Amino acid sequence: MWKPGTDFTTMRSLTHPLLKRLLGVSPQCVPRELSQSKGPVLSPKWSSPRQSCSARPGLVTATDVVNYWQKVFETNGIPEARESSEYIVSFVLGAKTFQSLNSKSLHTPLTALQQEQIQQLSNKRLERMPVQYVLGEWDFQDLTLKMRPPVFIPRPETEDLISLVVEEKSRQCEKNSGLCFPVSVPHPVILEIGCGSGAIALSLLRKLPQSRVIAVDKEKAAVDLTRENAHRLQLQDRIHVLHHNVSYGSAKQLLLWGPIDFIVSNPPYVFREDMASLDAEILRYEDLDALDGGDDGMRVIKTILALAPSLLKDSGSVFLEVDPRHPNMVENWLQAHPNLLLVLRAIHKDFCGKPRFLHIQNQSR
């Protein structure tokens, strides 16, 4: 979403479906209902894994510790108990996933320092801190991004939004190459509204090597994190990150490189009546302004669409991630504002088959 994004299996009976999507530890298709659980976090009765798990006295392996913390998480009602434990142990051992650890890593006794690091990170998870914040980083597509609260955590389903932009650019290039006298295609200029951690902007820079991106967010924490991630990935020369609250009069500030080819955004689109039902991980740690889309979930969506004609090139496009209830609402809103000359070109479904992504095109000339 704006500052919003879900695709981050085992403990199904303990895991709420939406949280599974929002925390991103399961790629499977799940419903979108919201959890009602807001129970307090319980403190585990600590007993050393060395005493409770190890087959050999005094030795504790990665598998022992994963099993131990899984049980502690389950006891305290922590969602994704197994996955949370595996991610934490893998991170301390320098691996992305538990499944990627080799046999030697799985069976070599952990040092006291490693056990202490695992305990410290696991205690954060017991406070319902999302795994992404616990680890301080998360993979999105082929990028490893720094993560810290309250900057919105990118959700895996947002990867589809990026793919749509890349596909549209590819389609334009193919169309141009078929002309008798091909026209030179300038480097695409992309505007991301609500950059959060920079996941969308930096992914597009990586996938479209000739592109330039203007990334804006109204939260300084998000702007700072996007800049940090851009520098870590050595993409800072092609991105302009602005601390800016987009409004109807924002056009002048955003036309840094001239008219925009693509506006892309994962804006706040949760209906306000649903906000109170979000899970503890979200309510405690993430910026709720990145989720709250107002009464109809379209507060920021309407602003983006009203601003788009003054920013886009002729036939430029807006790509939005929205709630499944929004496509019809957006289409009706565009029909009620014909002066904008925006047309809903396509509605794309997410991996669950729900209408989630909108392609809107400028027809101003």
pLDDT-derived band at 86, boundaries 50, 70, 90: very high
Tell me the C-alpha distance between 304 and 293, whole Å.
Answer: 12
Residue-level pLDDT at 178: 55
Cα–Cα distances (Å) from 5 to 70, 117, 200, in that order, read 27, 29, 9
DSSP 3-state of 311: coil
Q: What is the pLDDT of residues 164-207, one digit of tens each?
A: 999 999 888 877 665 554 445 568 999 999 999 999 999 999 99
Residue-level pLDDT at 186: 64
Residue-level pLDDT at 177: 62
Res 42 pLDDT > 80: no
Q: What's the token pair of residue 33?
A: 């209902």
Sort strands 355-362 and 312-321 into parallel, antiparallel or unpaired.
antiparallel
Res 208 pLDDT > 90: yes
Residue-level pLDDT at 6: 34
Tell me the C-alpha distance between 355 and 322, whole Å.
Answer: 8
Amino acid letter, 18: L
Q: Report the run of H or E that residue 213 belongs to, with start and end.
A: strand 212-217
Res 284 pLDDT > 50: yes
| pLDDT averaged over every residue in the chain | 85
**Counting Cβ atoms within 10 Å, is residue 180 exposed (0-12), middle (13-18) or buried (19+)?**
exposed
**Counting Cβ atoms within 10 Å, is residue 109 exposed (0-12), middle (13-18) or buried (19+)?**
middle
Res 14 pLDDT > 90: no
DSSP 3-state of 343: strand
Lookup result for tokens 């538990």: 98
Q: What is the pLDDT of residues 300-326, one digit of tens each?
A: 999 999 999 999 999 899 999 999 999
Q: What is the pLDDT of residues 224-240, one digit of tens each?
A: 999 999 999 999 999 99
Res 56 pLDDT > 80: no
Res 4 pLDDT > 50: no
Backbone angles phi, psi at 304, to 5 degrees: -60, -45
Residue-level pLDDT at 365: 53
263/258: higher pLDDT:
263
Most confident of 4-13, 96-105, 291-300: 291-300
Residue-level pLDDT at 31: 31
Contact in structure between 271 and 323 (CB atoms under 8 Å): yes
Res 53 pLDDT > 60: no
| In 194-280, beta strands by DSSP E | 212-217, 239-243, 260-265
CB-based contacts of 73, cutoff 8 Å, min separation 6: 81, 84, 85, 122, 125, 126
State mean pLDDT over 24-47.
38
DSSP 3-state of 342: strand
Q: Percent of the chain having pLDDT more than 90?
A: 74
Residue-level pLDDT at 19: 37
* Opening angle at CA 182, ends 181 and 183, nearest 5: 115
Q: What is the pLDDT of residues 141-155, one digit of tens each?
A: 999 999 999 999 999
- The sign of the torsion formed by the CA atoms of 13, 15, 20, 25 equals negative
Q: Is the peptide bond before 4 cis (omega within 30 degrees of 0)?
A: yes
Cα–Cα distances (Å) from 316 to 56, 287, 288, 311, in that order, read 65, 30, 30, 9
- The sign of the torsion formed by the CA atoms of 280, 283, 286, 291 equals positive
CB-based contacts of 362, cutoff 8 Å, min separation 6: 308, 309, 312, 313, 314, 315, 316, 317, 318, 341, 342
Contact in structure between 296 and 329 (CB atoms under 8 Å): yes
Strand partners, 190: 213, 262
pLDDT-derived band at 80, boundaries 50, 70, 90: very high
Sort strands 189-193 and 212-217 into parallel, antiparallel or unpaired.
parallel
pLDDT-derived band at 241, boundaries 50, 70, 90: very high
Res 158 pLDDT > 80: yes
Residue-level pLDDT at 179: 53
Q: Percent of the chain having pLDDT more than 70?
A: 81
Record the pTM.
0.83
Neighbours of 182 (CB within 10 A): 11
Res 213 pLDDT > 50: yes
